[in-house]
């Protein structure tokens, strides 16, 4: 009984010291823009704000015969080029070769 309880306590201690993953969208995008592989994708839908400005894009792309769909909020520079993100537009993406579903529109 003592070893069972000590195992339980050990798990708690390891959980306490385990690194907590914090999702940082800006860091993820910067890493992909710097190190990601390049592919071509297609915009298939958009979201707009009340004024009609494109705020969010939905895109698809294919890597090694596998199709992926993803979405992304546009950054300030991208929002200045709304004609680049109309449905059907071809876009350049960058993706993580170890996790091809992790991607951004350039």
Token pair of 26 as six digits: 């800006």
Instruction: Write down the domain spans for the chain.
Output: 22-105
Q: pLDDT digits over 5-20, tens only? A: 544 444 555 555 555 5
Angle at 25 between CA 19 and CA 29, to 5 degrees: 115
pTM for the whole thing?
A: 0.76
Options 3.10.620, 2.40.50, 1.10.3470, 3.40.640; CATH for 22-105 is 2.40.50
pLDDT of 67-89, one tens digit each?
Answer: 999 999 999 999 999 999 999 99
Query: What does the alpha-carbon distance between residue 70 and residue 45 come to, in Å, rounded to a whole number?
Result: 11
Query: Residues 20-66: pLDDT tens digits?
Result: 556 788 999 999 999 999 999 999 999 999 999 999 999 999 999 99
Question: Tokens 């596998």 correspond to what residue?
Answer: 66
């Amino acid at each position: 009984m003592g070893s069972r309880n000590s195992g339980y306590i050990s798990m708690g201690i390891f959980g306490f010291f385990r690194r907590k993953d914090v999702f940082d969208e800006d860091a993820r995008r910067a890493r992909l823009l710097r190190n990601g592989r390049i592919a071509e994708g297609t915009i298939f839908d958009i979201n707009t704000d009340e004024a009609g400005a494109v705020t969010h894009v939905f895109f698809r792309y294919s890597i090694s015969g596998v199709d992926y769909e993803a979405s992304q909020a546009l950054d300030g520079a991208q929002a200045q080029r709304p004609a680049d993100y109309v449905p059907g537009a071809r876009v350049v993406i960058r993706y993580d070769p170890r996790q091809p579903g992790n991607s951004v529109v350039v």
